[in-house]
């Protein structure tokens, strides 16, 4: 059984390597996200142990790119972070299991063997919020049966919002997770792209799911009718009916 370990704490990585070799695993180790991604895509593994907080490219982005390339090797995420949202992010992106540091080596081995026994069925992980669906493997977005064409930045923003559906996310959180870390422009760019998204995922469908929470940030909700659009439609319908009645009276 061949396993890739992507972990930047070199002592921990070496400890995992030695322990797994004693359990009859063949082990490759990488200490940053870029080299880990290269190994994961260029070699065949039975499982991947992937830290989240990695230099050069974080574990979330490594996992996202692995799945985008349709590599379905089971992935067990390692992290010092401990929270429901961290786990949700990992699972939404296609992780198969999750361990929080510090962990028992016995548990790590047991989890790896369970993942390997399960195998690697192809399972693109569709993210859904109401009628909105995002396919990370194909990078395609649909509202119901209608496909929505997005730019790369719009896609990244929508993906982040969908993975945090129902939560309020701030402009700074969006910039940290969607824009490059070297971006030093105004936070107002977020407002611009929120507007772009609304024009593609909400307005054509008479919905209001991408909500501005004044003074706090933005929240993506399940399908909700756009009340202003509904009122406008009702007014137009009433005016049309009134005009029709007047015409009938005149005749």
The pLDDT tens digits for 95-154 are: 788 888 888 899 999 989 888 887 665 555 688 999 999 987 677 899 999 999 998 889
Residue 205 CA to residue 225 CA, distance in Å, equals: 9
pLDDT recorded at residue 93: 67
Looking at residue 88, its pLDDT comes to 54
The length of the chain in residues reads: 251
Q: pLDDT at position 91, please?
A: 65
| Residue 160 pLDDT level (bands cut at 50, 70, 90) | confident
The yes-or-no verdict on residue 6 having pLDDT over 80 is: yes
pLDDT at 100: 83
Q: In terms of CATH architecture, what is 127-228? A: Orthogonal Bundle (1.10)
| Residues 6 or more apart in contact with residue 134 via CB below 8 angstroms | 126, 127, 128, 140, 141, 158, 159, 162
SS3 150: coil
Residues 6+ apart with CB under 8 A from 206: 225, 226, 229, 230, 233
Res 85: pLDDT:
43
Peptide bond into 102 cis (omega under 30): yes
Q: Which segment, 83-87, 108-112, 198-202, 238-242, is predicted with the most confidence on average?
A: 198-202
User: Averaged over 40-46, what is the pLDDT?
Assistant: 88
Q: What is the mean pLDDT of the chain?
A: 81
Contact 84, 92 (CB under 8 A): no
H or E element at residue 29: strand 26-30
**Which residues are CB-contacts of 37 (< 8 A; sequence separation ≥ 6)?**
57, 62, 65, 66
The model carries a pTM of 0.50
161 or 120, higher pLDDT: 161
In CATH, the architecture of 2-118 is 3-Layer(aba) Sandwich (3.40)
Dihedral (CA of 126, 132, 134, 140) sign: positive
Q: How far is CA 180 from CA 13, 26, 30, 185, in A?
A: 28, 36, 23, 11
Q: Mapping DSSP to helix (H, G, I), strand (E, B) and coil, where does residue 38 land? A: helix
Q: Which comes out higher in pLDDT, residue 79 or 35?
A: 35
φ, ψ for residue 40 (rounded to 5)?
-65, -30
Question: Can you give 80-134 as a three-state secondary structure string?
Answer: CCCCHHHHHHHHHCCCCEEEECCCCHHHHHHHHHHHHHHCCCCCCCCEEECCEEE
- CB-based contacts of 68: which residues, under 8 Å, 6+ apart? 136, 137, 139
pLDDT single digits (tens) 169-226: 999 888 877 775 556 778 889 999 999 999 999 999 999 999 999 999 999 999 888 6
Residue limits of CATH 3.40.50.2300 in the chain: 2-118
Q: How far apart are the first and last CA of the chain?
A: 86
Q: Where in the chain is the domain with CATH 1.10.10.10?
A: 127-228
């Amino acid at each position: 059984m061949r396993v890739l370990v992507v972990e930047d704490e070199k002592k921990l990585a070496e400890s995992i390597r030695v322990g797994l070799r004693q359990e009859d695993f063949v082990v490759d180790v990488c200490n940053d996200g870029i080299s880990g991604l290269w190994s994961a895509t260029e070699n065949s593994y039975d499982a991947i142990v992937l830290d989240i907080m990695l230099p050069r490219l974080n574990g979330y982005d490594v996992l996202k790119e692995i799945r985008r390339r349709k590599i379905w090797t089971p992935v067990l995420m390692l992290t010092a972070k401990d929270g429901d949202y961290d786990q949700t992010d990992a699972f939404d992106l296609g992780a198969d299991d999750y361990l929080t540091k510090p962990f028992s080596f016995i548990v790590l081995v047991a989890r790896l063997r369970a993942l390997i026994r399960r195998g690697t069925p192809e399972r693109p992980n569709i993210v859904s919020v109401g009628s909105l669906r995002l396919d990370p493997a194909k990078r395609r977005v649909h509202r119901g049966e209608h496909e929505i064409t997005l730019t790369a930045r719009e896609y990244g923003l929508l993906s982040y919002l969908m993975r945090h559906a129902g939560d309020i996310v701030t402009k700074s959180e969006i910039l940290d997770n969607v824009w490059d870390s070297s971006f030093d422009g105004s936070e107002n760019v977020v407002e611009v792209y929120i507007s772009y998204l609304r024009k593609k995922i909400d307005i054509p469908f008479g919905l209001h799911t991408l909500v501005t929470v004044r003074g706090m940030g933005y929240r993506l909700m399940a399908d909700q009718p756009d009340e202003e659009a509904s009122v406008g439609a009702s007014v137009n319908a009433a005016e049309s009916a009134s005009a029709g009645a007047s015409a009938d009276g005149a005749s």
